[in-house]
Amino acid sequence: MRYLSSLLFSFICCNCLFLANVFSQPTITLSKTVGSSGTESIHDLIADQDGHIIALGQCDSVDRDTSCHYHGGSTDIWLVKMDAAGNILWQKCYGGSEEDNAYQIIQTTDGGFLFTGVTFSSDGDVAVNQGYFYQVWIVKTDSNGNIQWQQGLIAAKTYDLMQLHNGKYLIACYTINSSSSFPVHYGGGFVNDAWLTWINNDGTIDTSRIYGGTADDYITQIIELPDHDLQLFGYTESIDYDLVGTSANGFRDGWIFRTDSNGSIKWTKRWGGNLPDAIDGAVLLPNKNFLTAGSSDSNQGDFLSNHGSSDVWIMLLDSVANRISNYLYGGSNTDAMDFRRRIHSANNGIFTVGALSYSSDGDVGFNHGYSDFWFFAIDSNGVLVNSKVVGGSWVDDLYCNSLHEGNTALLGGLTASDDFDVHDYHGNGDGWIVEIGNFTMVGEVVSESVISIYPNPLHSQFMLSSTDENVLNNATLEIYSSNGILMATKKIRRKQETILIGNLPPGNYNCLILDGNNKRITSAKLIIQ
């Protein structure tokens, strides 16, 4: 008690210097509007293998920034290649005389691109119309955006696409009815079933599989594991067919299941509360755990409370989806992820999250006006490290986020603002690309050991322990207040130690455990009652 109390004074004095080393403050390194006299928007962003920015969006005019061949209709799919400074190198428009909407893009192993969207057209670039009102449009291009092949699926929407280790492409989509593309349907008409479709490298369809039950079901992200099993994330309202044996927590739950490389289910689990919840993305950690990110409206079940109408939901799961930790981040208004607002793994053990925010309090803390882009970073336990709100005084809709060279975040969407962080606004809605840097922490020590804090919530003390004899040897425990002030520190000498915290008032705290080289071993949230 006396040791911790004496250190409290000495370490608060050097708090500002220490935080500068460990918790960097995110800064905007690029703010780029792209648009013309019509309405443009960015729906997906990636960095290619040469460090260029590749933006997939929509346009409905051909002046100023949109100088490609516009096909007519209400929108075309718009592919733009930029240098790292946001200067346009080339651009292409794709579509026909009807509406064509963009969803997602990846770079392929041959240096080209694969993108998906929905088309209502049957002319122009669209050569896969199957006599349906609209269809999912899958387009493979070379590195300069020239179409190499295309494929159509009679489905409602794609949520994820990836290239597998064997070169095939895997598409996660959903359909509201049976069709020639998806003849089997679990639910009735206009009930959404989740589907995976394997496409060969030449664009021919290999096979498709249905997942879910008789209510709405979605797959939002696919991760191919090192053994080539598939880990799938999404959300479900079903309790039958593939969800038999699971219990609904509320209206809609987060859904996690694993299949073999051919798509046969090995196991399935669900998490959630009393109101709609969804998993919108996930990352695989080096120790085979998963971090998931999504949205939650719940305040019961797996959640004790929430901040407002919708929060960003972060979970840390082990390799078979047993929950290790669970967090809700947000403010008193709506803060939400979606199918292209994802979690990504950055350098130094940090993970970035993109969300749309209407809040001006809580974890968000600021609002420029109406809706803003919200970027924040978490560590490998899901603990909030730092955050940044960007936007103007009007509508700023975040549609997507990704990473550029591992250490800067890319955010994309639509802006109707012409002030604050938005520059050179063209009018009628512009595509907006924001790059954020300076958010990483000190390096992370990746350990297979399990480090436990018990009990938590706690009163005057807790036990810190590790399953590894050496991982905590010569480690340092640091405890921070919720606003980043260093409150206490203690040297750890053994694999199990009792930590006394009687001088700290009740509240929420963050703790860091650093090794002898000041690299982070792990972190956690402490709740003192």
Domains of the chain by start residue, with CATH: 2-22+447-528 (2.60.40.3080), 272-440 (no CATH)
285-294, 407-416, 442-451: range with lowest mean pLDDT: 442-451
When the pLDDT of each residue in the chain is averaged and rounded to a whole number, the result is: 88
Residue 10: its H or E element: helix 2-13
Could you tell me which residue, 68 or 327, shows the higher pLDDT? Answer: 327
At 93 the pLDDT is 93
Nearest to 520, CA basis, from 443, 447, 454? 443
Could you tell me which residue, 485 or 192, shows the higher pLDDT? Answer: 192
Quickly state the pLDDT bin for 447 (edges 50, 70, 90): low
Tell me the C-alpha distance between 360 and 330, whole Å: 9
Q: Does the pLDDT of residue 16 top 80, yes or no? A: no
User: Peptide bond preceding 183: is omega within 30 degrees of 0, i.e. cis?
Assistant: no
Quickly state the pLDDT bin for 21 (edges 50, 70, 90): very low
At 305 the pLDDT is 82
How do residues 188-241 score in pLDDT, each as one tens digit? 888 999 999 999 999 999 999 999 999 999 999 999 999 999 999 999 999 999
Quickly state the pLDDT bin for 149 (edges 50, 70, 90): very high
Nearest to 404, CA basis, from 470, 347, 337? 347
Q: Does the pLDDT of residue 484 top 90, yes or no? A: no
At residue 163's C-alpha, the angle toward residues 162 and 166, to 5°, is 145
> Helix and strand tally (H, E) in the chain?
2, 36
Tell me the C-alpha distance between 432 and 423, whole Å: 10
How do residues 328-380 score in pLDDT, each as one tens digit? 999 999 999 998 999 999 977 789 999 999 999 989 988 999 999 999 999 88
Average pLDDT estimate for 67-81: 84
CA torsion, ordered 352, 353, 356, 360, to nearest 10 deg: -70
Nearest to 130, CA basis, from 176, 72, 138? 138
Q: Does the pLDDT of residue 12 top 70, yes or no? A: no
Are 358 and 333 a contacting pair, CB within 8 Å? yes
Residue 84's identity, in one-letter code, is A
Quickly state the pLDDT bin for 29 (edges 50, 70, 90): very high
87-101, 191-205, 360-374, 490-504: range with lowest mean pLDDT: 490-504
Instruction: Return the residue matching tokens 């003849």.
Output: 183
At residue 408's C-alpha, the angle toward residues 402 and 411, to 5°, is 40
Instruction: Return the residue matching tokens 């995976």.
Output: 196
At 406 the pLDDT is 78
Quickly state the pLDDT bin for 11 (edges 50, 70, 90): very low
Tell me the C-alpha distance between 55 and 60, whole Å: 16
Which string of DSSP letters, residue by residue, matches 299-368?
Answer: SSTT-S--SSSBEEEEEEE-TT--EEEEEEE--SSBEE-BTTB-EEE-STT-EEEEEEE--SSTTT---S
Q: Does the pLDDT of residue 19 top 50, yes or no? A: no
Give bridge partners of residue 497 from the DSSP assignment. Answer: 464
Please report, rounded to a whole number, the percentage of residues in the chain having pLDDT higher than 70. 91
Q: Does the pLDDT of residue 510 top 90, yes or no? A: no
Tell me the C-alpha distance between 332 and 346, whole Å: 28
Burial of 348 (0-12, 13-18, 19+ CB in 10 A): middle
Tell me the C-alpha distance between 31 and 428, whole Å: 18
Nearest to 26, CA basis, from 329, 311, 377, 336? 377
Phi, psi of 108 (to 5 degrees): -95, 165
